[in-house]
Amino acid sequence: MPDVTKEQVLEKLKTVRGPDMEGNIVERGLVSDVFISDGKAYFSITVPAERAKELEPMRSAAERVVRDIPGIKAAMVALTADKRAAASGAPAARQPAPSAGAPAPGGHSHAGHSHPPAGQARGKADIPGVGAIIAVASGKGGVGKSTTAVNLALGLKANGLRVGILDADIYGPSMPRLLKISGRPQQIEGRIIRPMENYGIKVMSMGFLVDEEVAMIWRGPMIQSALMQMLREVAWGELDVLVVDMPPGTGDAQLTMAQQVPLAGAVIVSTPQDLALIDARKGLNMFSKVEVPVLGIVENMSYFIAPDTGRRYDIFGHGGARREAEKIGVPFLGEVPLTMDIRETSDAGTPVVVSNPDGEVAKTYREIARKVWEGLQADKVSARAAPSIVFE
């Protein structure tokens, strides 16, 4: 059977009526670019944010008609909110204006705001069974963020917590390799899939759904759609912490997570040199602007110990991340050395926290994990209000 084309998918989607039964979702310009890989179709439908719940049947219909195409095994479809949706012909639902001082929908009084004020109590993360979600981020690539994320997750697990990890790096997913996991997740009921698992932590990654050599050429709505489905349509079970390995930088994935997910906090990874710290500041500023607490900074590749002589070399300088943390008033979580052991175990899919749990590096990661968990408890950041981002 020949591969299904995106033109076939779009043609089928023309049978799905648009909002208010006007036209169809394709002709109204609501469908993002369609990506097809290994018999799975990925796309999103753009609608006004205030109508997302109301238009869920439209999303379900789109998913259903695509799954009926011969050769399509599954469809990942999400509603994404964007101001451009109104311009594309999807009218926004009108809300009656409240009288002065009257409570707005949701129980909050209006004072010129359409969203709850930042910092308002929220309760636990809006993912069933997940206690807290933390992001591991960096301002640039090549600083060892994913290695830090996976060893942080394993450190939390070693400290007695129930842990999962979401690989949010759509363009360069690394968790399958770092955790030595292969195969495809199983669909258990409806749209829900079972996460992969190794070393006692549950894992979800785009790397499990798309072949390693496939180039991911996605725009913002597609990234948002994939992230939300990997987060909300996975049977995570009961977790104390879900660690999210962010892609480097301050783009769509980070904004999506900050806007739509109740992040309890973020961990920033940097190397000691000035150039990396400049990029790390961008990440710090981004989380600050969207009011996600920064749990601390990790200085990765902090120093090098020569294996033959035991002599220490500060290849990238030393202490820059600690000074940056002190300067801006966030915790400094620890220094992770540059060692052959970390590289070799990462490449082999046996992270150092599990392959050499009694070694000094594993102890460093467990100490970082302890500080992160204590930071969550001390500040009660998992109960702070989710920020709302308004794109002008």
pLDDT at residue 215, rounded to an integer: 52
Task: Examine the pLDDT at 258 and tell me if it is beyond 50.
Answer: yes
Q: What is the pLDDT of residue 117?
A: 31
Average pLDDT of every residue of the chain: 76
Determine what percent of the chain is predicted with pLDDT higher than 90: 26
Sequence letter at residue 47: V
pLDDT at 118 > cutoff 50? no
Q: Return the minimum-mean-pLDDT range out of 81-90, 330-339, 355-364, 375-384.
A: 81-90
At 193, phi and psi to the nearest 5? -120, 155
Contact 27, 60 (CB under 8 A): no
pLDDT band at 236 (very low <50, low <70, confident <90, very high): very high
Kindly report, residue by residue over 19-43, the tens digit of the pLDDT: 888 889 999 988 877 878 778 887 8
Q: Which two tokens stand for residue 259?
A: 């806007």
**pTM strictly above 0.75:** no
Considering Cα of 35, then 65, then 194, then 260, what sign does the dihedral take?
Answer: positive
Tell me 105's DSSP state. Answer: T
pLDDT, position 366: 96
Highest mean pLDDT among 44-58, 199-213, 291-305: 291-305
Return d(Cα 353, Cα 146) in angstroms, integer. 14
Give me the pLDDT at residue 199, please.
Answer: 95
pLDDT tens by residue, 261-307: 788 888 988 887 655 566 666 667 777 766 788 899 998 888 887 77
- Which residues are paired to 109 by β-bridges? 103
Stretch 90-103: mean pLDDT: 33
Q: 392: buried, middle or exposed (CB in 10 Å: 19+, 13-18, 0-12)?
A: exposed
Residue-level pLDDT at 66? 93
The pLDDT of residue 78 is: 73
- Work out the number of other CB atoms within 10 angstroms of the CB of residue 120: 12
Q: What is the pLDDT of residue 80?
A: 67
21-25, 193-197, 312-316, range with the lowest pLDDT: 312-316
* 391 compared with 222, residue with greater pLDDT: 222
Residue 1 carries which DSSP code? -
Q: Is 29 helix (H, G, I), strand (E, B) or coil?
A: coil
Per residue in 326-366, pLDDT (tens digit) is: 887 888 999 998 887 888 888 888 999 999 999 999 999 99
Which pLDDT belongs to residue 108?
A: 33
Give residue 391's pLDDT: 32
Q: Which domains does the chain have, with CATH numbers?
A: 6-87 (3.30.300.130), 130-383 (3.40.50.300)
- Cβ contacts of residue 361 below 8 Å, gap of 6+? 336, 337, 339, 341, 342, 352
Task: Judge whether residue 222 has pLDDT over 90.
Answer: no
